[in-house]
Amino acid sequence: MFVKTGDTVKVIAGKDRGTTGKVLKALPKVNKVVVEGVAIMKKHQKPDAENPNGAILEIAAPIHVSNVQVLDKNGVAGRVGYKEVDGKKVRFNKKSGEVLD
């Protein structure tokens, strides 16, 4: 998967199109990522010792990895390619040519 935890990404499809955020969690087995501030859903929590009245939590739901593009240091969104630099495989932005790793 071309996205890693900690990458800054731009959402290119869906209701949150155009927003940018940091990848909180990558889920490679299902090809999804959790992005900070994107796909916010409400979860109702039962009362417990911590919240005696219960609570409605807002958490970020996973979105498909095909709906995001990785941003480089200059904020340019582009597709990700791979090349070898000094004997190591690194990711690079195909639009700007800048190395991401």
CATH level 3 topology of 8-72: SH3 type barrels. (2.30.30)
pTM to 2 decimal places:
0.86
Check residue 71 and give its pLDDT: 96
Is 68 in a helix, a strand, or coil?
Answer: strand
Break the chain into its structural domains and give their ranges: 8-72
Check residue 17 and give its pLDDT: 96
Check residue 101 and give its pLDDT: 81
User: How large is the average pLDDT for residues 67-92?
Assistant: 95
Q: What is the pLDDT of residues 18-77, one digit of tens each?
A: 999 999 999 999 999 999 999 999 999 999 998 899 999 999 999 999 999 999 999 999
Check residue 57 and give its pLDDT: 93
User: Are 33 and 27 within 8 A, CB to CB?
Assistant: yes
